[in-house]
Amino acid sequence: MSVPARVCILGATGSIGVQTLDIVRRHPSRFVADTLVAHRNVESMADLCRDFRPRLAVMADAVAADRLASQLRGQGLDTRVEGGPDAVAAAAAESTIDTVVAGIVGAAGLAANLAAARSGKRILLANKEALVMTGPLFMSAVRQHGATLLPIDSEHNAVFQVLPEGRLVRGVRKVWLTCSGGPFRDLPDLDLASVTPDQACKHPNWSMGRKISVDSATLMNKGLEVIEAHWLFGAPAEDIEVVIHPQSIVHSMVEYDDGSILAQLGNPDMRTPIAHALAWPERIEAGVPPLDLVAMPPLTFRTPDRDRFPCLGLAYEALRLGGTAPAVLNAANEVAVAAFLDGGLRFTAIPRIIESTLARVPLVRQPDLDAVLQADCTARELAGALTRDRNFAR
Ligand code: NDP
Ligand code: MG
């Protein structure tokens, strides 16, 4: 019997983190939840520590780490508690860790993801924003340090599964990313300017964190995924297509020159891609009910409405511009979505803020990490100012 893989879960208290822990719990002889990382949700982290008894628990917020330590005191746990962003990155690079689940939301996950790549870990990537920001730098760190990168974003996991050895080969004509279309896909008469955060977060097929739920409603999630697919598989932007598939059963497809289209199907449950990547190249049980081919609804596909949901086109445009543009797109989106979730911005202002920020931040064509971080910072300041500008926010 081999030794269980020691897993570090970045974003342990989130949707991806909790679903990863569900798989870990099902396979105690294969995986150990060695390190759990979160931001400031002390109550959830304390529950996870009592449940999984990790070696290390890290809160990115140092005050939250102190609160966690005092909550865990006297409970008979050996869990060490650390705090602060440096402790998060160090946890991902720790020599005893085999597998890092990159499940932090947004640019906040970048430093830890890079640390995991530079330490040659097996990385299960959910945190698409960090890859969008630093595509070439992150991919070269993965190659240089012999890390193994396995996508768990369901579309990219599907593409990985239907490409020979998970890599683009000659004869691939197109990568087709499927898209549920979000909660507003079948409401053409709905005035998008008046939708609330709760309406936007009510995803028809998936239960996810609030930021990615809004991204799914604006189609920016699919835009970020186009950029993610470009970096993961090296596919040119013009060969990556998005198709609306409301049933979320076909998770994505690869079209080959000989006329074949290979697809990966399954019930919409993130535990399938997470289990696939945790066990790869083997397969394990994920707690996901088998897809009932006879009872499932008819599978339908249609073209996305880019006029109603301009974020998709903005993401293609940022990918075409290259350099720091995807980082600027991502930063402006994070700021705009946070303002929308806070009730301070209309849904329809999100793409306008992103477009305007993209136009204003100077493009650096071949940025190093400092230039990316600088562009991220400038974009956040500009987008923040735009969210407070009545002409944009309304
Ligand atoms: P959630 O909002 O549910 O969880 C986010 C997690 O990140 C929480 O554990 C949170 O901790 C942690 N976190 C936030 N900021 C920091 C920080 N500064 N330092 C350390 N930890 C931090 O998000 P999701 O799980 O939905 O999404 C996570 C990522 O996975 C995103 O990039 C998303 O795009 C991607 N993804 C998610 C899918 C899903 O089904 N949910 C599907 C495909 C991709 P705390 O609880 O303490 O705030
Ligand atoms: Mg996805």
Task: Please name which of 321, 301, 304, 313 lies closest in space to residue 361, comparing C-alpha atoms.
Answer: 321
Q: What mean pLDDT do residues 252-275 have?
A: 98
Residue found by looking up tokens 């983190």 in the block: 17
Pairwise CA distance, residues 281 & 228, whole Å: 22
- CA–CA separation, 386 vs 391, rounded Å? 8
Q: What percent of the chain has pLDDT over 70?
A: 99
Residue 388 has pLDDT above 60, yes or no: yes
Determine the average pLDDT of the residues in 369-389. Answer: 97
Question: What CATH number is attached to the domain comprising 83?
Answer: 3.40.50.720
Q: What's the 257 CA to ligand 1 centre distance in angstroms?
A: 37
| Pair 171, 294 in one domain | yes
Please tell me the distance between residue 79's alpha carbon and the centre of ligand 2 in angstroms: 33
**Per-residue pLDDT at 347:** 97
CA distance 9 to 100: 6
**Do 224 and 114 lie in a common domain?**
no
Reduced DSSP (H G I as helix, E B as strand, rest coil) percent helix, strand, coil of the chain, to 5: 50, 15, 35
- Residue 385 lies inside a defined structural domain of this protein: no
Residue entry with tokens 């990219």: 156
Looking at the structure, do residues 110 and 165 belong to the same domain, yes or no?
no
Please, which pLDDT band fits residue 204 given cuts at 50, 70 and 90? Answer: confident
Give yes or no for residue 245 having a pLDDT over 60. yes
Look at 263 and 207; give whichever has higher pLDDT. 263
Together in a domain, 132 and 219 = no
Question: Which of 304, 338, 364 represents a domain boundary (last residue)?
Answer: 304
Q: Does 281 share its domain with 162?
A: yes
End position of a domain, from candidates 125, 151, 177: 151
Tell me the average pLDDT across 206-233: 96
Whether 16 is covered by a domain: the verdict is: yes
**CA separation for the pair 106, 132 (Å, rounded):** 10
Rounded to the nearest 10 degrees, the angle between the axes of helix 325-341 and helix 128-144 is 140
- Position 165 scores a pLDDT of 87
Residue 15 pLDDT? 96
pLDDT of residue 242: 98
The burial class, CB within 10 Å (0-12 / 13-18 / 19+), for 176 is: buried
Output the six-digit token pair for 349: 């202002």
**What do you get for the CA distance between the two ends of the chain, in Å?**
61
Give me ligand 2 centre to Cα 190, in Å.
25
Residues with CB under 6 A from ligand 1: 11-17, 37-41, 60, 88, 103-105, 108, 126-129, 153, 206, 208-209, 211-212, 270
Q: How confident is the model at residue 50 (pLDDT cuts 50, 70, 90)?
A: very high
Q: Are residues 55 and 100 in the same domain?
A: yes
Element containing residue 113 per DSSP (H, E): helix 110-118
Same domain, 163 and 277: yes
Stronger pLDDT, 381 or 167, i.e. the higher one: 381
* Model confidence band, residue 323 (pLDDT cutoffs 50, 70, 90): very high
Encoded tokens for 141: 């760190």
Residue 350 lies in a domain: no
SS3 letters for 189-242? Answer: CCCHHHCCHHHHHCCCCCCCCHHHHHHHHHCHHHHHHHHHHHHHHCCCHHHEEE
What is the per-residue pLDDT for 156? 98
pLDDT above 90 for 303: yes
Give the pLDDT of residue 244.
98
266, 302, 48, 76: which is closest to 186 by C-alpha?
Answer: 302
The residue whose CB lies within 8 Å of the most ligand 1 atoms, and thus the one to mutate among 20, 58, 208, is 208
Q: What per-residue confidence (pLDDT) applies to 215?
A: 97
Once rounded to an integer, what is the mean pLDDT over residues 309-314? 98
pLDDT above 80: residue 393: no
Task: Compare 305 and 204 and report the one with higher pLDDT.
Answer: 305
* Residues contacting 343, CB < 8 A, separation 6+: 197
User: Is residue 113 predicted with pLDDT exceeding 60?
Assistant: yes
User: Residue 2 has what pLDDT?
Assistant: 84
| Residues 99-103, mean pLDDT to the nearest whole number | 98
Q: In this structure, are 169 and 233 located in the same domain?
A: yes
| Mean pLDDT, rounded, for 310-331 | 98
Q: Are residues 130 and 235 in the same domain?
A: no
**Hey, which of 212, 216, 219 would you mutate to test ligand 1's pocket, going by the most ligand atoms within 8 Å of its Cβ?**
212
Q: Which atom of ligand 1 sits closest to the CA of residue 10?
A: 21
User: Is residue 67 assigned to a domain?
Assistant: yes
pLDDT band at residue 1 under the 50/70/90 scheme: low
Same domain, 283 and 296: yes
User: Domain range holding 260?
Assistant: 153-190+208-304
Ligand 1 centroid–CA 196 distance in Å is 21
Residue 356 and residue 386 in contact, taking contact as beta carbons nearer than 8 Å? yes
Tally of domains within the chain: 2
| pLDDT of 374 above 90 | yes
Are 57 and 180 within one domain? no
| Residue at 315 is within a domain | no
What is the pLDDT of the chain when averaged over all its residues? 96
Kindly state whether residue 277 falls inside one of the protein's structural domains: yes
Q: HSE of 51 in the Cβ direction (CA atoms, 13 Å)?
A: 15
Q: Are residues 221 and 139 in the same domain?
A: no
Structure tokens given for 115: 């640390």
Residue 316 lies in a domain: no
